Amino acid sequence: MTSALASPPGAALRPAPAPFPWDAVWGQDEAVATLRGAAADPSALAHAWLITGPPGSGRSTLAHAFAAALIADPHDEHAQRQVLSGTHPDLTALRTEQVVIRIDEARKLVERAYFAPSLGRYRVIVVEDADRMTERTSNVLLKALEEPPEHTVWVLCAPSDADLLPTIRSRVRMLRLREPSVDDVAALIVERTGVAPEVAEESARHAQRHIGMAQRLATDDGARARRAETLAAVLGVRGVGDAVDVAGRIVKLATDDAKALTATRDEEERRALLRMLGVAEGAAVPPSFRGQVNALEDDQKRRATRSLRDGIDRVLTDLQSLFRDIVMLQYGRDEGLINSERLDELRALAMEWTPARTLGVLDRIADTRRALEQNAAPLLALESLLITVANGSAP
């Protein structure tokens, strides 16, 4: 008998979820099997791991599930939940909200690595953004990774092993995650949020299979509208004046988005700190406490800078998808387009431009991303990129 309720696309292909604490890891059965085996068998356990995979593939979720399995007894669900929530004393996790991981943060991790486990079987150090370590910061970790204490396990996460120094790569066991298909991500978004299948499919496609971004696009009308507005504006750039105007609009949209993501949290953090210090709401901060308040504000400013740069990086990813689609059309391929709803516009530009010009823009997008990683001014970097779009050559 056929059910009247159709399953979402890809649902039949997904196996039953792994048991707790692995059940939150989605679409990475081989990686889960490897790490479950390592957690259960000390002879298979390396003391330093590098989990790599594209953004949104579940690196952090997998790392914390692994930490829970290592630290807690297999039958102690309470302790496993403590690890997953970040409250277990034998877990140290670093997820930087700044542009780079600071060297003093790395030194604190190394210090923690030499503490014996207090309650669990192992002490686990998780570094979620290992690709944000500079060379000096990476060098701080080297000895700890090479000769860790017997009951300490390091778990680093990064998009690619190429994002880390060769000296780091040589000291870790690498585990690469698979990329889910658009249909699989869409099915998951429908299952999690209940949005319409067509919205989930478009969001998964636009997010390029990044699960977290796909979920945000699917559930946030404003985010979808901002993406559409940005792409339409870039496709309309025809001269230097347009380039300057559109670059300014992109930076404003990214700035507004970053403020929306951080403003509420910033205010909650400030209120919590003042309560802890015993300062009444609305009262002046005593001079003896101003240093702590200023330190919090400095951290929040660094977090806002990263949030803005991450937002602009997402814009660059969207632009990369746009011009990648154009190149595909120029070479006679129209399947697998990321922005297929813009097919007519893309075909028109594919006919107007040469493939060399489109590839030049893609190169310029890569250059812009590298410039922003080196702290170039976002507005100037985007203006330079969009002048290339307008003129077909680097300014």
Q: Kindly report the average pLDDT of the chain as a whole number.
A: 87
Q: What pLDDT, on a 0 to 100 scale, did the predictor assign at position 17? A: 60
Task: Taking residues 264-292, report their average pLDDT.
Answer: 81
* CA angle centred on 19, ends 18 and 22, rounded to 5°: 70
Is the separation of the CB atoms in 25 and 61 below 8 Å? yes
* Strand, coil or helix: 123: strand
Determine how β-strand 48-52 pairs with β-strand 91-94. Answer: unpaired
Distance CA 318, CA 307 (A): 17
N-terminal to C-terminal alpha carbon distance within the chain:
65
Q: Please report the pLDDT score of residue 99 as a whole number.
A: 67
Placement of tokens 């300490």 in the chain: 152
pLDDT beyond 60 at 176: yes
The pLDDT of residue 7 is above 60? no
Answer for the pair 95, 30: CB distance below 8 angstroms, yes or no. Answer: no
What's the pLDDT at 287? 85
pLDDT, mean of residues 274-300 = 82
Question: What's the whole-model pTM score?
Answer: 0.69
Average pLDDT for 64-89? 93
Mean pLDDT to the nearest integer, 332-358? 94
User: Which among 174, 100, 88 has a CA at the least distance from the CA of 125?
Assistant: 88
Q: Where are the alpha helices (DSSP H) in the chain?
A: 29-40, 59-71, 77-85, 103-113, 135-146, 166-169, 182-193, 197-206, 211-219, 221-235, 240-277, 290-330, 343-352, 355-373, 378-391
Is the predicted pLDDT of residue 26 greater than 90, yes or no? no
